[in-house]
């Protein structure tokens, strides 16, 4: 029997102790077998589940999912503590120092007049902290592991701050038209289809940025809308004793247009 007292209410220190017990030589076989890479995907999935709870505006669900993310933080930290590299105190120390350094208008004598100025200072301090000497350094620092739309937007914003940008949304919109034409040309055999589609998506993100629209969120909503309309199409076909795969393109198009008329 493990030496751990079960309680009605647990603390953060209890979480640290539980993970230590699970990772111990006589602990849980599965937990002992894990390393940073084996549970990397878990961290990503748990983070997205937090986002889902936020979108649902469900506090109880959010509390649960934040706990799952916290578990991932503690799990990864415990692996390094076992090797004597760092522990949870070092993690907390690092983020505290970062927050103090990047908020000189709170913890020092810097004067700011707006949130925009605060964000500009944050970026300037981050570049100094990360020893980013060029704009290219800043662009390259955007994590490649981010969802592609989010990464594209962050890269574009950093380039824009350096003065590399369209004057207004019309230039960005024209670029979308140009890239779409190049996609069509690629399908006709005069280019790399994957590359041209990537350029088209990148251009679309630029338009979203000018419109102050989150491209990731916009695509999420578009996908949800597609699923809802597809469900109406499928139900209509079912009510007519038809199978979607048996319908012609014109018949499917008719059902799709009808589905768009419904709220």
Q: What is the pLDDT of residues 49-101, one digit of tens each?
A: 999 999 999 999 999 999 999 999 999 999 999 999 999 999 999 999 999 99
Q: Is the pLDDT of residue 199 over 70?
A: yes
Q: How far apart are CA 258 and CA 233, in angstroms?
A: 8
The pLDDT of residue 1 is above 80: no
Q: How confident is the model at residue 195 (pLDDT cuts 50, 70, 90)?
A: very high
pLDDT tens for 93-106 read: 999 999 999 999 99
Residue 263 predicted with pLDDT over 70: no
* Mean pLDDT, residues 200-208: 97
φ/ψ of residue 24, rounded to 5: -70, 160
CA dist., res. 165 & res. 220, Å (int): 26
- Residue 230's pLDDT is 95
Looking up tokens 């399908």 gives 187
Task: Tell me which residue has tokens 């996908």.
Answer: 223
Cβ neighbours around 149 below 10 Å, total: 20
pLDDT tops 70 at residue 36: yes
What does the block give as tokens for 180? 């779409």
Give 191's pLDDT tier (boundaries 50, 70, 90). confident
Residue 2 burial by Cβ neighbours in a 10 Å radius (0-12, 13-18, 19+): exposed
Over the stretch 108-162, which tens digit does the pLDDT of each residue have? Answer: 999 999 999 999 999 899 999 989 999 999 999 999 989 999 999 999 999 999 9
Distance of CA 8 to the CA centre of its chain: 35
Burial of 166 (C-beta count, 10 Å sphere; 0-12/13-18/19+): middle
With bands split at pLDDT 50, 70 and 90, how would you rate the model's confidence at 262? low
- Asked if residues 232 and 252 have their Cβ atoms less than 8 Å apart, the reply is no
> Across the chain, what does the average pLDDT equal?
94
The mean pLDDT of 213-239, rounded to a whole number, is: 94
Range 175-194 average pLDDT: 94
Task: Retrieve residue 29's tokens.
Answer: 């076989």
Which pLDDT belongs to residue 11? Answer: 96
pLDDT at 2: 81
* 15 CB neighbour count, 10 Å cutoff: 17
Cα dist from 67 to 4, 7, 46, 63, whole Å: 20, 17, 9, 6
95 alpha-carbon distance from chain centroid: 20
> How many CB atoms within 10 Å of residue 75?
19
pLDDT given at position 176: 97
Residue with tokens 């878990």, as numbered in its chain? 42
Average pLDDT (178-193) is 94
């Amino acid at each position: 029997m493990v030496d751990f007292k079960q309680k009605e209410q647990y603390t953060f220190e209890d979480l640290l102790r539980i993970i230590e017990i699970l990772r111990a030589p006589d602990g849980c076989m599965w937990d002992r077998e894990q390393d940073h890479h084996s549970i990397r995907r878990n961290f990503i999935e748990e983070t997205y589940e937090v986002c889902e709870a936020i979108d649902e505006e469900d506090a109880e669900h959010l509390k649960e999912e934040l706990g799952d993310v916290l578990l991932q933080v503690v799990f990864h930290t415990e692996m390094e503590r076992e090797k004597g590299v760092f522990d949870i105190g070092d993690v907390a120390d690092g983020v505290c120092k970062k927050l103090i350094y990047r908020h000189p208008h709170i913890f020092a004598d810097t004067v700011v007049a707006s949130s925009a100025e605060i964000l500009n200072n944050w970026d300037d301090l981050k570049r100094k902290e990360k020893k980013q000497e060029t704009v290219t350094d800043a662009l390259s620092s955007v994590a490649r592991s981010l969802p592609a739309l989010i990464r594209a937007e962050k890269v574009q914003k950093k380039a824009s701050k350096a003065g590399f940008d369209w004057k207004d949304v019309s230039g960005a919109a024209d670029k979308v038209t140009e890239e779409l034409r190049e996609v069509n040309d690629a399908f006709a055999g005069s280019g790399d289809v994957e590359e041209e589609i990537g350029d088209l998506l990148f251009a679309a993100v630029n338009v979203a940025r000018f419109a102050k629209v989150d491209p990731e969120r916009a695509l999420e909503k578009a996908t949800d809308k597609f699923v809802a309309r597809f469900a109406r199409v499928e139900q209509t076909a079912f009510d007519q004793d038809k199978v979607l795969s048996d319908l012609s393109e014109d018949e499917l198009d008719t059902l799709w247009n009808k589905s768009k008329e419904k709220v």
